[in-house]
Structure 1
Amino acid sequence: MATAAGGGAREVRLAEVPKGLPEARHFTVAEWPVPRPGPGEVLVRNRHFVVFAALRTLMGGAVQDTPMPPLRAGDTLFGPAVAEVVTAPDGSALRPGTPVLHMLGWREYAVLPADQCVRLDQDGALPEPVQYLNQGATAYGALTRLGEVRAGDTVLVTGAAGAVGTLAGQIARQLGAGRVIGTTGSAEKAERLVAELGYDAAVLRGAGPGSFARRLAEAAPDGVDVLLDNVGGEQLTAAVDVARKGARFALVGALSGQLDADGDGGAAPAVIDSYRLILRGVSVRGYAGMEHLDVAPEWTVRFGAWLRSGGIDFPHTRIAGIERAPQALEDLVRGSHFGTVVVDV
């Protein structure tokens, strides 16, 4: 990982498109003058931003049907960030010091149109600004709009130790699930899912052909009613085998493809027993947040209430310093972190 000469503001750029999974050496932390806002623009100083696995897909150029642009060599990375306003245009409701949420993370300072900043000082919904970087809206929307969790349901969450999964199991419990099962690739993470986040069981992937399906069947002897799938691949295949009559499958991620070192991050094939889906009346739907714009504000209110009551926790890993962000991304795609990964700028 190189650092460009200069001074003022630092940002993380893609130095070269990786062949395979991204590593810290594929990025550079460049220093440039603090940007100046134009008419109608606001200058913000970032305080925290999220590291997320979907960046791998954007680097691989597999962006068909995605709402985000590709990342090419020389581009600055981006993603959700919490910032403070430095300067704002005349007539704007924003003032210096106003906390905001926006999409230009991975840099110390950002300039963007004022209407692309969401103020965080008005609703007071969440106790701490960094909590606005949670990815629970995806889990909440999928479990309420597609999975429709009902009292006593058995809910299966694949990729349960990630940013979405660590919240999904807790949300399912708050919605009335009777049994919650998670999957992960680490024995240590499996223990944490049960001990810290209230999962009833955690199933380890890997360890030989067919072994995951066997372990899942043992963890869900009576089947599952709802699936929140972050992974796809063999885990989706095995979930079909344990689906109960009328089960609802909500697909929110495709980590088996995004984190495949031999692919481009844009496909996650899975073998599905369609006959079993028919016989059991299983619904399988993909969840897209842009199709459920009412979810985010609803989730923020409920998340805040659950945080304050102690009914839910926000598992996250804090990384100090923008210069450590490239290594944080490498570690994330290799499965080293638990929960949401946040860089403190």
Structure 2
Amino acid sequence: MQPFSKFLRLVCLLSLASATLSSCQLGRFVFYNFANITDYKIFPSRPLTASAQPFRFQTATTPRAPKKLGPTGKEAPLDQYLADRETVAFLIIQNDTIQYEQYFNGYEQSSIVASFSMAKSVTSMLIGTAVEDGLIKSVDEPITHYLPELKKNGLENVTIRHVLQMTSGIEFNESYVNPFGDAASFYYGRNLRQYVNNMQPKAAPGQGFDYISGNTQILGAILDKVVAPKTVTQYLQERIWQHLGMEYDASWSLDKKKDGLEKTFCCLNARARDFAKLGRLYLKQGNWNGRQVVPAQWVKESTQVDTAQGSSAGYQYQWWLPSRSGDFMMQGILGQFVYVNPMKNLLIVRLGKDYGNTNWPRFFSELAAVY
């Protein structure tokens, strides 16, 4: 009886440990191990609805896309080049016309892909519309005007602009491979409001650029307050999404099912063509076929180089600036991109399972030179 009793206790302990792990952040981290473009399946979410009259890009009768890439003697067909580098979707759109559209590794036009940090750029769009709507007075206001609970943490000198520009000086561990790091907590945890409330300063704001997802989640917490009783997803639907002629339903992942908060630092779940429309909106200075959806001045401020107050020349208002030639892009972990080149009236969307050991911003610039 004694060996059986020990075995029974072991089974009970293992069962208890398994139940505990499955219900907590660490358990989800261990089970799912690392972020994946199918993670929209593992989190609760709020829906975004497709348009009854979708906008569709034209398709070129004679596509203008390079057949081969690479130095002479080592050229590879474009399709092969992309497929070999963990790409699942790749679009080249110029003058509202699709010059190239291919899907790889089992994906197709209707496949959902998680945006990861491309959602940061969308969160910035919403801050811009909230300013225009009078819900936020100014980006130079302290974040504590909207999140007074952060005063006790010593963040009263951090402004919305600091958070937008990633110059807040807030302490945050941007590691997804550390199960106890802040990024993993924000991604797998179930209480984003509390995590935001616990944030602490590391340095004085405005002293330098430090890319952290916590900044964008602060913006999400502010939006959560100012758009209430609507949710952030509902505000996105009404203020932007419904005007862009989205072809497919989409969603925004939450930290928890009941009274959840959008993971505004990540986790918009959509299709490649609809991600392209977010880029088109900024390519057109926030105007969508005659309707000014996002203020043109906000688009300008978001995508121009500004190194004042510690800001980086390569980043502005949650958009990446890969060069000094006026191009800009949304970017997410594992190599999700919407690249915008106004001089060429060009959009490039790349979605992937991984970066595929490729410098995609440089690749986009080289590809843009062809057009």
Q: TM-score scaled by structure 1?
A: 0.30
